[in-house]
Amino acid sequence: MPPNKSGRDCTTGSIPRHLLAVAAPMLIGNFIQSGYAIIDAVWVGRVVGKEAIGAIAVSFPVLFLFIAVAAGATMATTILISQYFGAGNLEQVKKTIGASIFFAILLSVVISTAGIFTTDHILRLLKTPESIIPAASQYLKINFGGFLIMYCGFLIGSILRGIGDSKTPLYFMIVGVAVNAVLDPLLIIGVGPFPRLGLGGAAVASICGQLIATIIGYGYLRKKKNIVAVDLHLIGWNPEKIRLIMKIGFPSMLQQSAVSLGMATITSIVNGFGDTATAAFGAAGRIDTVSMFPAMSIGMAVSIISGQNIGAGKHARVRQVFKWGMFMTVAVSLFFTFFYLTIPKFLLSAFLSDPDVLAIGANFLRIVGPGELFFAMAFVANGVINGAGHTRVTLVFTILALWGVRVPAAKFLSETGLGINGIWLGTVFGFFTSMLLSTIWYFSGRWTRQVIKTRSAT
């Protein structure tokens, strides 16, 4: 590796220390974002009303599908940069950044234009109640208009994480959330010189927060003369790099979209058991998500560190990353499982008190909670596979586990004597399938096959 450069060189030194250093900031970021999303919902619900909450609920699947596009493309950027960085090829790092920014601009113009002009049509296709359409339309159009800002915010985080720096993006995110938190009530209510925008104010506040965080981020990199500071001369059409971004990023886009649609389908099955089941699913799901954050953060850290070591040709070290990642994520999963099995109703009581809801939610945590162990192990194995650039493999595994096992098993078992508990069992079967497929593929050694030529002259 070349000396005297920014970033975290994960090709040498303690692997568990690298995993903790890379995963911890991402985990903190997940908690901050999740916590603020709850606060944001409280502001909107109490000030604007139930129509606004409904508008957000209707808008979420639409926004998530488009966010999946940006997240997939930026994951490709992270993987490419991590491998080039690990190989010590800083020229290719800078070319990847330039091509990624150009691709972000191009894709954002297309998505923003298409989104703004088709919003109302999409809402009617989703059979949105007429009373909600005006608020949902405004909310979606503002978000579509700010898509480039959101994309660039994702991109700067992905670039820094590619060189092993997940701490700096956390600082930028905190700034963005702070700005959002201040502007939210001002723009929703209309305080002083600020206009009363209602639900639209929440969207504008979010975009303003992302814009300020992104400007500070890019300015910071240039001032510090970071190796990933943007070189304006390299922003442009680079066919080879954009081909790689699409090759690696497109499967990730499809994967996240498939997960979104799968969760919507599971929710519809739960809804068939009535509003009590829906409330229990919502409350238990919030708690369960907390235990997913560590697995997701460790899995992403495994992907980044594996990418650097694969770029450096250190496959034996990648195997150690896998082992340590498995140890950490299993330990954390067992910690959460203990509480899910022993005090599930106590955990749920923070959200609700209805005994019927508590009973259903407690069964969810007792059944799905231990199954998170399989979910966590799958994330680690997929981290190595994605870090190697084989994102099409994890796409196939996700579709097989979700649509081949989890959804049909949940539907079938829920219609037996198991009732709603059949849905929870179907979820565990899906997690187990994902873990089995990804670990088998990892141990096959196929992840060592080269996807990215880290020392090419493109």
Q: What is the DSSP letter of 406?
A: I
Find the length of the chain.
Answer: 458
Q: Which residue has the tokens 């972000």?
A: 104
Q: For residue 326, what is the enclosing H or E element?
A: helix 315-342
Question: Is residue 353 pLDDT above 70, yes or no?
Answer: yes
* Closest to 321 in 3D by CA, of 78, 7, 8, 11: 11
Q: What is the pLDDT of residue 4?
A: 37
Rounded to whole angstroms, the Cα distance separating 272 from 263 reads 14
Q: What is the pLDDT of residue 439?
A: 96
Q: What is the DSSP letter of 388?
A: T
Q: What is the pLDDT of residue 46?
A: 67
- Alpha-carbon distance values, 248 to 54, 73, 244, 389, 441 (Å): 35, 8, 6, 6, 18
Q: What is the DSSP letter of 197?
A: -
CB 181 within 8 A of CB 221: no
**Tokens, residue 149:** 């800002």
CB 351 within 8 A of CB 283: yes
* DSSP H stretches of helix in 186-274: 199-223, 239-271
Model pLDDT for residues 16-66, shown as the tens digit of each residue: 999 999 999 999 988 887 766 666 666 776 677 666 766 776 677 778 777
Q: What is the pLDDT of residue 373?
A: 94
Average pLDDT, integer, range 170-191: 89
Average pLDDT, integer, range 409-413: 95
Residue type at 195 in one-letter notation: P
Q: What is the pLDDT of residue 392?
A: 92
**Tokens, residue 372:** 């998170």
Model pLDDT for residues 99-155, shown as the tens digit of each residue: 999 999 998 999 899 989 999 888 887 677 787 888 889 989 999 999 999 898 889
Instruction: Assign 276 a pLDDT band (cuts: 50, 70, 90).
Output: confident
Chain mean pLDDT for the chain: 87
Model pLDDT for residues 213-231, shown as the tens digit of each residue: 999 988 888 877 777 887 8
Instruction: Assign 188 a pLDDT band (cuts: 50, 70, 90).
Output: confident
Secondary structure (DSSP) of 387-455:
HTT-HHHHHHHHHIIIIIIIHHHHHHHHTSTTTTHHHHHHHHHHHHHHHHHHHHHHHHTGGGS-SS-TT
- Within 13 Å, how many C-alpha atoms sit on residue 81's CB side? 32
Q: Show Cβ contacts of residue 161 under 8 Å, excluding neighbours closer than 6 positions.
A: 22, 26, 78, 82, 169, 300, 304
* Closest to 69 in 3D by CA, of 299, 300, 249: 249
Q: How many other CB atoms are found less than 10 A from the CB of residue 236?
A: 11
Instruction: Assign 2 a pLDDT band (cuts: 50, 70, 90).
Output: very low
Average pLDDT, integer, range 181-195: 87
Domain residue ranges in the chain: 25-247, 272-448
Most confident residue range from 48-62, 194-208, 346-360: 194-208
**Tokens, residue 237:** 């059409």
